[in-house]
Amino acid sequence: MITQDYLLLCIGMGLVTYVPRWAPLAALSQRSLPRWLEEWLDLIPAAILSALIVPALLTAGEPRQLTLWNNDLLVAAPVFLFALRTRSLGGTVVLGMALYWLAGKVLG
Amino acid sequence: MTERPSENNTPTILNDGFRAAWPICVGYVPIGLAFGVLAQKAGLSALAVGLMSALVFAGSSQFIAVAMLGAGAGIAAIVATTFAVNLRHLLMSSALSVHLKGVRRRWLTLFAYGITDESFALNLVRFREGGWDWRRALAVNHVTNAAWVTSTVAGALGGALIPAHAFGIDYALMGMFLCLLVYQLRGRIYVLTALIAGAAAVAISLMIPGNSYIVAASVIAATAGLFIRRRWPRLTRERGSP
């Protein structure tokens, strides 16, 4: 059963999520950008990925606290080195899962 | 945009999309199942779960929405929170736009729907490596969307029967992000930017609840990186082309 309120909620959530996804594409892809903006955007992927990864590895809890010893972080080191050496996406994902599974078994 | 019919037929494009997208799909399964189970416990039907996943397609905001629904929050509060949580896509869409020049509006309209942390990172790397185009990127977006909708609905239908944390599957997306970050480290300036972003993100995430640290740290780091690159061009010169 879908109530009218729930439908409204989903449409509202969908809209406010969609607009930030769409607006820059619509505005920026049809024109050439100033050089500084292109250079800035060129640095964004490395920045976002790092901003997603590092807190996930170094913080936990609610409110968040620094945790310098956890399985996620422990596994990340060899997985990162493996990615650096092999540059294999599939291999990295599989190794990460295997080591994380192992760490859970061995370290709890 | 030149057409190469032999390489651009639909099966080839879909095949390339699938082959690129599988790590994302694998990573979505445990999260999607967990979301489905949680939503079902909060009183949502499988249909309701599928509707939200299809209309929103943004995992963390969906978890928050279900938690807020459970706490009796109103529609306006949930929608406003969703907006704040998903504002980071603004940066991702901007960075992707560089690679989507001249693509028709209606395709961009369809493309935008599928921009997530995961598809963004994967597509951007592929664009940069070459041999990638908006059609394949669009396939990645929609293949991963299908995986998300399916796994959340499956979770609502019977996710409690599936053992959680099996096979280290919870680490699939982290593994993928780590490798995609490695691809991004193409010179000193990128390493420096990533270090600044990581440090800033940890600091901000410890001070401010929520996920605003992603946008804040990324903007700070990219701006600092641009400044450093301009100020000391020789120090930060890259290997190969800019």
Residue spans of the domains in chain A: they are: 1-31
How many residues does this entry show for chain B? 242
> Which pLDDT does position B152 carry in this prediction?
95
Q: How far is A15 from chain B (nearest CA, A)?
A: 8
Residue A60's φ and ψ, nearest 5 degrees, are -160, 165
Cis bond before residue A78 (omega within 30° of 0) = no
The separation between CA B184 and the C-alpha centre of its own chain, rounded to angstroms, equals: 15
Parts of chain B with a pLDDT under 50: 1-6, 240-242
- At A44-103, the pLDDT tens digits run 999 999 999 999 999 999 889 999 999 999 999 999 999 999 988 889 999 999 999 999
Cβ–Cβ of A28/B168 closer than 8 Å? no
Query: What is the SS3 string spanning B127-172?
Result: HHHCCCCHHHHHHHHHHHHHHHHHHHHHHHHHHHHCCCCHHHHHHH
Q: Show residues of chain B in contact with A72, CB under 8 Å.
A: 171, 174
Q: Hey, are the CB atoms on A41 and B93 less than 8 Å from each other?
A: no
- Report pTM: 0.84
Query: Helix-strand-coil percent breakdown of chain A, rounded to 5?
Result: 80, 5, 20
How high is the ipTM of this complex? 0.92
Q: How far apart are alpha carbons B32 and B38 in whole angstroms? A: 10
Residues A49, B121: contact at Cβ < 8 Å?
Answer: yes
Task: Give the whole-angstrom CA distance, residue B207 versus residue B216.
Answer: 12
Q: What's the confidence (pLDDT) of residue A62?
A: 85
Provide the phi-psi class of A61: left if phi over 0, else alpha when psi is between -120 and 50, else beta: left
pLDDT tens per residue across span A1-44: 689 999 999 999 999 999 999 999 999 988 888 999 989 999 99
- Predicted local confidence at residue A32, as pLDDT: 84
Q: Give the chain A residue whose CA is nearest to the CA of B202.
A: A55
Of A5, A18, A22, the CB nearest to B75: A5
3-state secondary structure of A60: strand
Chain B residues within an 8 Å CB radius of A57: 174
Question: How would you label A88-98 residue by residue, b for 16+ Cβ within 10 Å and e otherwise?
Answer: ebebbbbbbbb
Interface test with B, best of A7, A16, A41, A48 (most B CBs within 10 A): A48
Q: What is the pLDDT of residue B236?
A: 64
Residues of chain B in contact with residue A58, where contact means CB-CB under 8 angstroms, are 202
In angstroms, the CA A12 to CA B76 distance is 8
Nearest by CB to A13, which of B61, B94, B191?
A: B61
